[in-house]
Amino acid sequence: MGFFEKISAGLKKTRDSLMGRLEDLAAGFTKVDEDFFDELEETLIMGDVGANVTMRIMDELRDRVRHAGITEPTEVIGQLREIITGLMGEESPLDLSTKPSVVLVIGVNGVGKTTTIGKMAAYLRGEGKQVLLAAADTFRAAAAEQLAVWADRAGAELIRHEEGSDPASVVFDAIHAGKSRGADVIICDTAGRLHNKKNLMDELSKIARVISRELPDAAVEVLLVLDATTGQNAISQARSFQEAAGITGIVLTKLDGTAKGGAVIGIREELGVPVKFIGVGEGIDDLRPFVPAEFAAALFEGQEL
């Protein structure tokens, strides 16, 4: 089941009705007029694309429509999807080319970091890789216990220290354990932190430094986890985490809800960071590679207030 279907199933709707929504929008209009553009604009803003980015997309759309002399509402929708798909770039797989390689998972509180790591570990195990998890969230209550449950489910190894210890030293230990045990991938969980807290962001920079110092030639992915339910604050998050740890990709979680995560369009535009995975549920199989075209289509399923 693609994430598209999963969302539809969650909404007790079929893929047909999803297409139906687009068709409805087109069918409701006989000509391409301002009301029609307003309707499209509303759909984008309702998907958290943000007012500024939406205005830029709409400008481009109007240009295209004018230049190509488009008069059919369906064609306009096609153009809009093309623009958005283009903005989202290409599918972008993880670079795990070295042994070991490292995946550092970061983000604000409660977005789904630990769960994503559990799912990713299972996914990599499925490809026959040896996976080691580092419980570098030493702050949140029962964070290591939570990761231990996931390590168990996924069949991954776990390195943990006691609560309150230095997260960078957990990562350090995990790297050395990973090397000596021949792990293919080391995935580091970190505590949720709001991006405006300087000391916590410095702690992340320190973790990133430990990784590049201990494994200078390794492939390192730094994944920022964003909750699809988050609005425009996601952009501010991306900017700060980018500065502190240099993100290489985004995981967009909770897309099984009704929110569409449109804020990532602005992030892609501004920071050029690709979305690599999406989370579509709390189960171990609910992690998917990100497909731009599917995402663009899902955006159009606006929810009625």
Partner 1 sequence: MAFEGLSGRLSEVFKKLKGRGKVKESDIKEVMREVRMALLEADVNYKVAKDFVASVSEKAMGSEVLESLTPAQQIIKIVNDELTELMGSTNARITFSSKIPTIIMMCGLQGAGKTTHCAKLSRYFKQSGKRPLLAACDVYRPAAIQQLQIVGEQAGVPVFEMGQGDPVEIARKAVLHARDYGNDILILDTAGRLHIDEELMDELRRIKEAVQPQEILLVIDAMTGQDAVNVAKSFDETLGIDGTILTKLDGDTRGGAALSVRAVTGKPIKFVGTGEKLDNLEPFYPDRMASRILGMGDVLTLIEKA
Binding residues for GTP: 107-114, 189-193, 253-256
Residues ≥6 apart with Cβ < 8 Å to 113:
105, 106, 107, 137, 189, 190, 192, 225
Q: How many amino acids of this chain bind partner 1 (CB under 8 A)?
A: 50
Residues ≥6 apart with Cβ < 8 Å to 282:
115
Q: What is the dihedral of CA 177, 178, 183, 188, to 10 degrees?
A: 120
Q: Applying CB under 8 A, which of residues 266, 268, 286, 287 lies at the interface with partner 1? A: 266
CB atoms inside a 10 Å sphere around CB 155: 12
Nearest-CB residue for ligand GTP: 192
Q: What six digits make up the tokens of 73?
A: 């509402």
Q: Where in 1-20 is the site for partner 1 (CB under 8 A)?
A: 10-12
Rounded distance between C-alpha atoms, residue 305 and residue 248, angstroms: 36
Q: Where in 172-231 is the site for partner 1 (CB under 8 A)?
A: 194-197, 227, 229-231
Residue whose CB is less far from partner 1, 184 or 256? 256
Q: Applying CB under 6 A, which of residues 28, 86, 110, 231 lies at the interface with ligand GTP? A: 110
Q: Tell me: does residue 268 bind Mg ion (CB under 5 A).
A: no
Looking up tokens 């339910």, which residue turns up?
Answer: 229
Q: Applying CB under 8 A, which of residues 20, 78, 89, 257 lies at the interface with partner 1? A: 257
Q: Applying CB under 6 A, which of residues 38, 202, 282, 285 lies at the interface with ligand GTP? A: 282
Rounded distance between C-alpha atoms, residue 283 and residue 47, angstroms: 25
Q: What six digits make up the tokens of 299?
A: 């955006």
150 binds, among partner 1, ligand GTP, Mg ion, none (CB under 5 to 8 A by kind): partner 1
At residue 45, the 3 state secondary structure works out as helix
Q: Tell me: does residue 145 bind partner 1 (CB under 8 A).
A: yes
**Residue 24, Cβ density class (10 Å: 0-12 exposed, 13-18 middle, ≥19 buried):** exposed
Q: Applying CB under 5 A, which of residues 101, 114, 248, 253 lies at the interface with Mg ion? A: 114
Residue type, 71: T
Rounded distance between C-alpha atoms, residue 133 and residue 186, angstroms: 6
The window from 24-32, 80-88, 109-117, 289-297 that contacts Mg ion (CB under 5 A) reads 109-117
Footprint of Mg ion (CB under 5 A): 113-114
Footprint of ligand GTP (CB under 6 A): 107, 109-115, 137, 140, 143, 191-192, 194, 253-254, 256, 279-282, 286
Footprint of partner 1 (CB under 8 A): 10-12, 42, 45-48, 50-52, 108-112, 118, 139-142, 145-146, 148-150, 194-197, 227, 229-236, 254, 256-259, 262-263, 266, 282, 303, 305
